[in-house]
Amino acid sequence: MDYLPSDHVRLSEDGRAVVYLDQSKLPWKEEFKTVTSIRDMYEAILGLEVRGAPCIGVFAAYAMYVAALKYADKDYETFKESFHKDGEYLNSSRPTAVNLSWAIRRMEGLVEDNSSAGVGQIITMLKKEAEEIHSEDIGLCRRIGENGLTLINDGAALLTHCNAGALATTRYGTQLAPVYIGMERGMHFKLYVDETRPLLQGARLTAYELARAGVDTTLLCDNMAGELMKAGRIDAVIVGADRIAANGDTANKIGTSALSVLANYYHVPFYVFAPYSTIDMSTASGEDIVIEQRAAEELTEKYYVHRMAPEGIKVFNPAFDVTDHELISAIITDRGVLRKPYDKSLKEVF
């Protein structure tokens, strides 16, 4: 099975820059970029060159380490203040994806907990911590896949939305982890891939990586999913998550909520795959999740040769929606398969 280019988020060989695969160029071009400034790192996340909640978390950890190198000659208080300022700035790039703030808080916590150490020693610790976050992500995704396989049978037909595969993490993915691990064990699946308007993460990214891995893949427009469910051709809907509230409400790419309603109407299991770091127990429900509004040009111009809407037309373009916990059949994490009531089962994983 041919996976993606290895380590599509990593440190440069000299350890002083972050290297990443620019996902905005896929599938027509595989281009790696190298960044050293916090502004370029911010722009990489904002511009969806780096995307997928777990992948953003790994990127942010490396970014904070590289940012810290600029303050290696400062005293501890100046270092901590500058580090925190960079963290706040980077965190503002994508407010919905909790892994971003989670990784930044973890790196900041290390700085605060080691005030008695020298700045040089702290920087060495930050590098090790970022590498640990990366390694943890690979392990988390594998465990998510193994847990997911307890729900998905060999030969299953699965419907996906957006991209929560290897590109969205750093190896197996979350949503697609059971597919890849199942294939390693000789299992076969049929994948139906929503194109995922307006940024086409399904068409550009999920279809790209599944085809490259040799998976039987069929692409469809988002509004065709109901026809497949009605015809009984879907065994389960599998999606990722950018934030899971304490009651199980889940923020994911726009269009996910509509799929959950269709799946429940047609009695198709609706599964959410995410690492424990995506669970935000400080957010009570989906009503408290900040939904990012993105540029109008993503609907009217992006990926089109000619503009596809009248000049001056009003545009509504939320990046995410929230799926009600009652519509979710199970939440599959690295710490197990969680069932309703989610306010209890989510607490148990912590």
* Residues involved in catalysis: 242
Give the C-alpha distances (Å, rounded to integers) separating 326 from 100, 111, 160, 275, 338.
27, 40, 19, 20, 13
Q: Are 226 and 237 in contact (CB under 8 A)?
A: no
Cα distances (Å, whole numbers) of residue 176 to 195, 271, 287:
16, 11, 28
CA distances to 55, 118, 136, 138, 335 from 277, in Å: 12, 29, 11, 13, 11
Q: How far apart are CA 283 and CA 280, in angstroms?
A: 6
Of 168, 220, 229, whose CA–CA distance to 193 is shortest? 220
Quote the DSSP letter at residue 73. Answer: T
* The length of the chain, given as a count of residues: 350
Please tell me whether residue 306 adopts helix, strand or coil conformation. Answer: coil
Rounded to the nearest 10°, the torsion over CA 134, 34, 278, 207 is: -100
Residues near 109 by beta carbon (within 8 Å), at least 6 away in sequence: none
Q: Is the separation of the CB atoms in 278 and 98 below 8 Å?
A: yes
Nearest to 199 by CA among 28, 17, 47: 47
Burial category of 336 from C-beta neighbours within 10 Å (exposed 0-12, middle 13-18, buried 19 and up): middle
d(CA 191, CA 10): 29
Rounded to an integer, what is the distance from CA 346 to the centroid of its chain? 19
Contact call for residues 58 and 172 (beta carbons, < 8 A): no
How many other CB atoms sit within 10 Å of the CB of residue 76?
16
